[in-house]
Structure 1
Amino acid sequence: MTDRVFNFNAGPGTLPEVALAQAAKDIVNYQNKGLGIMEMSHRSKEFMAIADQTEALLRELMAIPDSYRVLFLQGGASSQFFMVPMNLLAGDAKATYLDTGTWSTKAIKEARQFGTIDVAYSGKAENYRRIPQPDAYQIDDDSSYLYLVSNNTIFGTQFAAFPNSSKMLIADMSSDILSRPIEVGSFGLIFAGAQKNLGPAGVTIVVIREDLLDRAPDSVPTMLRYKTHAEKGSMFNTPPCFAIYVVGEVLKWLKAQGGVPAMAERNEEKARLLYQLIDSSDYYRGHAEPDSRSRMNVAFNLPTADLESKFVAEATAQGMIGLKGHRSVGGCRASIYNAFPLDGVRRLVAFMEEFAGANPA
């Protein structure tokens, strides 16, 4: 492909060019079947093979144990904010949440409709600049699970290590799934919207421990029960077929790159280059505390808001789009998900150096 820009948007994010090229062919004529991938019956043997292969690749790349089910759901990650407590809390049950940003705040609001929610830690007073250390909060003995967001796109923070808790962990990994190795067996449930590291918007991945499928109270509607989708292989109703297909193509690419360990090394190098530039200059200021920094979303400020606007405009003119920061933080944000190329980060670093020299504060 030619004339592609560097996409620093927080989502949807950059996808591998090889996956896009294959999708461009298959959207018109899948494997010379005479119809496109979006026209194909989800019950056909061709699509069932796609879904099976996509799940198998995800299981392989994440080392998902056999005791976990993989679901391909609709409704976005935001639907999981209520599906998790709806299925896993009942009656007077309690859960503990760590509030590290916008998405955990939204999840807490939804969860309170289904049980008692203890917010053991909140970074709101500091505008979510850090991830809590284990000694910064306590978990009640009667809590059913500990909920966290592994990476915070808006504030540029990330759990470098997950809590070593006796309580079941539930994690929203929408913005850093498959960016680094994790121990799936440490979690009861993991979910992730696809549009950062996995594929296009439209499908949400849920990895759930099998014994949790029977926890849902009888009052939970059929479509909102994890067990419904697990029993039907995510085919209870028509799934987001095209999105699942693209996830499969992205997973093929990821495997060819060396899998998750190789991706983690690449992501570390990309983030290192950006943070090194920020730390070596008084001109740029990172939002997150150093020990809480995200490898996926680098949030930073310039000396003034006017300079930030000029920075974003000039970067856009040079083919680097999506660098405007979220209104909660202001400034700039570079989202450098799995498929974002190292060359793009190098180009941004060079531009940042040039801009600082040409635009003194």
Structure 2
Amino acid sequence: MLNYITIFVSYKMERSNHIKGQGAQRNVINRFDKYTYEPEDEDFETVKTTFTEVFPKSIVNPVKSPDLSMEYSLNPYQGCEHGCSYCFARPTHEYWGFSAGIDFERKIMVKKNAPELLEKFFKKRGYTPKTIVMSGNTDPYQPVERKLEITRKLLQVFLDYRHPVSFITKNALILRDLDLLIQLAEKNLVSVNLSIPTINEDLRKVMEPRTSSVKNKLKALEILSQNGIPVNVMAAPVIPGLNSEEGLNIYKTVSELGAKSAHHALIRLNDTVEPVFVQWVNAHFPERSQKVLNLIRSMRAGNLGEKRYFERYKGEGNIAEMIHQTFALARRKYFHGKHIAPLATEHFTGSKEQQLRLF
């Protein structure tokens, strides 16, 4: 893998153009494939995004990572159109036989039967309700959701069963479902984690080429907050040399617009996320790409990735410590006394036992 990365970086440094509106610049080798062939002259700008319906037998996934606060996740899509080169979910596309590169952004699998599967899950005998996070592995409000409305249908199921749900998204499309979110918020059944890694629109266009604009994200934050929907802002990932100086400005801005809390996370480039990011940073920031990569290595013991639980969020060294101190200061300054309360579970009406208690 290291030889492949070196060859590809050298290739990208010589190129004078890049694919606009795209995070990955090419496909990268699937680590599970023994043989891989890709024409060097393939025009990836002409590759169309495809959407394939898949038929999972279950939709709610238990989360076993000890350093994650969520207990269940739900992903209505596989792959994501937003085009963030650093997305930690990219390697999961390889389990489907695709690449973590351009395939992750242009070969999207959709789970139209997700609402029915969720309802089936709620009806399991003896099920104890716990907050389900959407999505954890892909954005439930990525562009295709505007047409398919799978997430909206899922949201209706959460409301019907009075079950708590928390969202992770980069897209202001969530405002389309404000009517359902308000009803859930009235019973403390919903929270939103809005990803805002930068408030510099020029940088946003490069980091997250197909997400909502900074203006629309901030407007979504304001409207959600005004309607009683608690919002946590995720300033992630923090990339030294690109957006690492924005901590105070981001926290100040989102706090004034109503965010109840905010958190940050250092960038980590595990498995095939690494070559995708290296391609991207060389294409868009050739004059400082090596500086950025070396700063990341300084936080990751000489590597670009980190898989160890807990350590993957901490980092090490002076750069990591400076970043953590800046965000800690911002949190004390702009979020003192603010917090998001745990979501309610006592309203759940799913299992027969709980339904009988209503009479």
Q: Same fold (TM over 0.5)?
A: no
TM-score scaled to structure 2, two decimals? 0.26
TM-score scaled to structure 1, two decimals? 0.26
- The higher relative CO (CA closer than 8 Å, separation ≥ 6) is in 1
Per residue, is there more strand in 1 or in 2?
1
